Structure 1
């Protein structure tokens, strides 16, 4: 890895020129965030029920007294021995953010299609504390386009990230969905993002984007091929 070596004054001039681009990006990001918040909403009419360590809970109860709910669609299908490494990478960042979010009227919950009894041992292994519930037996994952039935897979195509694409071989895919609950108790779906749309929640990538080698993913089979469950890096 070779870079031009310059004097401090030349470095400062180049850094100052780049700062103008960073400021432009920050303004554009603020504008994009405002446009995201201004998107129309859809009222949630279906009554979803989830299995939690405290028993059955409705979607409304997942808000835990807040008005805003972020659901991370964690890839963990029935019968899996462990969760997706990439999803695990993302949720490794949740517990530190939770106290701040929950005290700012936002609840974050992970949802997977595997039965709760299959999720909890892996959660304990990872040492996570965030709420993780099971949508097993409900249409929740299918309705939000992150789980695909045998019939979907047999057709060879599924709808994911707002487009028709080849079937997800594992029957599961990652995503984020956001909901709002008003004072009357009505729930609205305000936003969903898939694929790289979840990257803003991965703080590690923000660190890597600062250093000379960056994400260092060139030449890998796929961008996150270097990621392991956090208890496996010693291997």
Structure 2
């Protein structure tokens, strides 16, 4: 079938590409400026003694830094009694393990926190084959204080405090990313949190999809991430099914 997309000579394509490059560079400079403003935000001192359950026992927020001065937490949607974690949060988490050595080299620890009991977290983590740190905030105010967990009453009211506004939300758990700084004297500060589409910064797959002709290809879907599955539930489009991965599949 002949494409309906516009076709150009190489010279015409190069002219259009250079014009787009100028806009891309402008966007990059704007993103750098916003990142600088993000780092310049005031900090909030953490006064609560948040406790978490880890594979090594009870730990504090300070313990989660694991010897680093900066901590990034993925607020992973896995509530008590859930059979499995949120597919979109899992999509985010699929990008985590490969980042950890690089983040550690820049004085950053990154891990996930969920409200589900630790046994439920560890069962799902094993299924997905992840190795990043993941602790339970079950019984703690942590998730509620950082506006990623809500009561049933909150949800039914149609006004939960999420993404810095009161809005309807269809679940008692929500996604987010929060950042903390620990000073030499042990004082911990909350420096940043992002929610909603802001969490796409963890989704490197989206960055690649934004490059290809079909893009994210989500416009016809009921909701944008309807196509996302847990990585063990995709069909024959898996890369292990194509010829270039044949040797890998045999291994």
- Give the TM-score taking structure 1 as reference length: 0.97
2: CA distance between counterparts of 1:150 and 1:128?
30
2: CA distance between counterparts of 1:117 and 1:198?
26
The aligned counterpart of 1:162 is 164
The answer to whether residue 54 in structure 2 is matched with residue 72 in structure 1 is no
2: CA distance between counterparts of 1:129 and 1:2?
45
Aligned residues: 234
Instruction: Select which of 138, 145, 148 maps to 1:146.
Output: 148
1: CA distance between counterparts of 2:160 and 2:208?
34
Per-residue displacement from partner, 1:90-140 (whole Å, max 9, x unpaired)? 010000000110121000010000000111111000000000000000000
Per-residue displacement from partner, 1:4-38 (whole Å, max 9, x unpaired)? 11111111111111110011011001001000000
The aligned counterpart of 2:187 is 186
- Give the TM-score taking structure 2 as reference length: 0.91
1: CA distance between counterparts of 2:105 and 2:26?
31
Map residues 168-179 of structure 1 onto 2, 5 A cutoff: 168-179=169-180
The aligned counterpart of 1:12 is 14
Compute the displacement of 1:155 (Å): 2.8
Q: Structure 2: which 5+ runs fail to align?
A: 237-251
1: CA distance between counterparts of 2:137 and 2:209?
34
Secondary structure of the residue aligned to 1:56 is: strand
Tell me if the contact between 2:155 and 2:171 (Cα under 8 Å) persists in the aligned partners.
Answer: no
Q: Structure 1: which 5+ runs fail to align?
A: none
Compute the displacement of 1:149 (Å): 1.4
Secondary structure of the residue aligned to 1:6 is: coil
